[in-house]
Chains A and B, each alone.
Chain A
Amino acid sequence: MAEAKKEQTTTHKIGIYLWIWGLLFVLSFFSYMVDWYNFQGLLRWSLILFFMFLKAGLIMAFFMHLFWERYALVNVLLWPMTAIACFVGLMVAEGKYTVFSRLFYFFVGGA
């Protein structure tokens, strides 16, 4: 029963939460700055993705306690993302192909 149950998850010091919390604000500020300074092109995209994944990673690892979970759970949660990665990759290719065909046949002509 509930009262007989042993504590399953170890508690953590409050400091770590506050640290991550602060880091999230800083990272959000940085990604906002990407827009503020109006970086363009590859630099913009890579910075956006970098900050995005860093923030997501921090939230998952510490706020959602994935860092302290056993590998069985972590792996079960992360491997399916390869399917999404594949989907994303192929849709990038597909999007490029579509816009290419549209511009080529609808605007340039001379096919």
Chain B
Amino acid sequence: MFTGLLFLAVIIGSIVFHIWTPWWWTDIASNWSAMDDTIILSFWIGGGVFILVCLFMVYCIFRYQYKEGRRSEYKPEDKKLEKGLTWLTTIGVVALLAPGLVVWNNYIRVPDNAIQVEVMAWQWGWKYRLPGQDGKLGASNNRIISDDNPYGLNIDDPNGKDDVFVESNELHLLKDRPVKILLRSIDVLHNFYVPQFRSKMDAVPGTITYYWFEPNKNGEYEVLCAEYCGVAHYAMRGKVVVEDEESYNKWLLEQETFSSFTAKNRNNKLNKKKFVKINNLSSNKNSILKEQDVR
């Protein structure tokens, strides 16, 4: 009796906690409300199963408690019941999976009008690079990072000349315009995560990863690193400001471009040798790239 009541209390407590919890997600500030919807869907289906299973268990505790002399039912199998439950579960699983896959399909296909933003993660902070007028980011390589070339840009790549450097942890984004976040790390794994945008992806050294979203609410949001990256992981914060075109452009003008940066440092000799190596490689590999350009 006591046992059944306590288990019942646990189930009811869970439901009550869920309904009246003050702890819930932050207001969404991007286009990924579909993710929230899939979570809610999972909650309905999964929560329903949880409650039904547990209530049935509690019922059994009450109803079939040990009585001396009573025999349990002897029925090793019930094909019909088992088949029915299998189908029911399969339907439930498909109902959960299908919307998830649709959302994921959207998540990995970036719209054509997305602005590219490179997020460069390092231990422990963030830097950003935006394309200039041409809308393209220049080729970069961690090998050639130096004081003169903090982003390791290939100086022979014309696309990189007008790239905008944002050497602070604050990034501004245009409202209602999709952004493709290109994640780059110069040391270890990081993860550019703004809870309000729902989306995230690891930054992996040695390759570039991406994801996209469309901020649709003005405001300032905190960036968290969501992949453990060493002892100051918890302190690796940044800031994203979503704003309208006017203030965005103002902010953009204040930032430095690659050419202005190099002009400032013209006196410093650039490390030519490394560029030569990189360029030779790139011509060799162009053919491979064409073959594999599946996009």
- Interface positions of A (Cβ within 8 A of B): 96, 98-111
B19 close to A (CB within 8 Å): no
Asked if A107 and B182 make an inter-chain contact with CB atoms under 8 angstroms apart, the answer reads: no
Distance (whole angstroms) from the CB of A99 to the closest CB of chain B:
7
Distance (whole angstroms) from the CB of B264 to the closest CB of chain A:
22
Asked if A99 and B139 make an inter-chain contact with CB atoms under 8 angstroms apart, the answer reads: no
Q: Which of A100, A101, A103 has the most CB of B within 10 A?
A: A103
Asked if B288 and A99 make an inter-chain contact with CB atoms under 8 angstroms apart, the answer reads: yes
Q: Which one of B9-17, B69-77, B152-160 is at the interface?
A: B152-160
B207 close to A (CB within 8 Å): yes
Asked if B136 and A111 make an inter-chain contact with CB atoms under 8 angstroms apart, the answer reads: yes
Given contacts A107-B281, A111-B116, A111-B182, contact A100 B136 (CB under 8 A): no
CB-CB < 8 A to B154: which residues of A? Answer: 107, 109
Contact with B139, one of A96, A101, A105 (Cβ below 8 angstroms): A105
Asked if A96 and B292 make an inter-chain contact with CB atoms under 8 angstroms apart, the answer reads: yes
CB-CB < 8 A to A101: which residues of B? Answer: 207-209
Contact residues, B151-191 vs A (CB, 8 A): 154, 157, 159-160, 182, 184
Interface size class of B (residues with CB under 8 A): 20 to 34
Residue in chain A with minimal CB distance to B184: A105
Task: Report how far A6 CA is from B160 CA in the complex, Å.
Answer: 80
- Interface positions of B (Cβ within 8 A of A): 116, 136-141, 154, 157, 159-160, 182, 184, 206-209, 278, 281-282, 285-286, 288-289, 292-294
Given contacts A98-B207, A111-B116, contact A105 B289 (CB under 8 A): no
Asked if A109 and B137 make an inter-chain contact with CB atoms under 8 angstroms apart, the answer reads: yes
Asked if B159 and A109 make an inter-chain contact with CB atoms under 8 angstroms apart, the answer reads: yes
Distance (whole angstroms) from the CB of A71 to the closest CB of chain B:
28
Asked if A105 and B292 make an inter-chain contact with CB atoms under 8 angstroms apart, the answer reads: no
Residue in chain A with minimal CB distance to B141: A106
Given contacts A108-B139, A111-B137, contact A103 B289 (CB under 8 A): yes
Asked if B282 and A108 make an inter-chain contact with CB atoms under 8 angstroms apart, the answer reads: yes
Given contacts A101-B208, A102-B206, A102-B207, contact A109 B292 (CB under 8 A): no
Given contacts A96-B292, A98-B207, A99-B292, contact A107 B159 (CB under 8 A): no
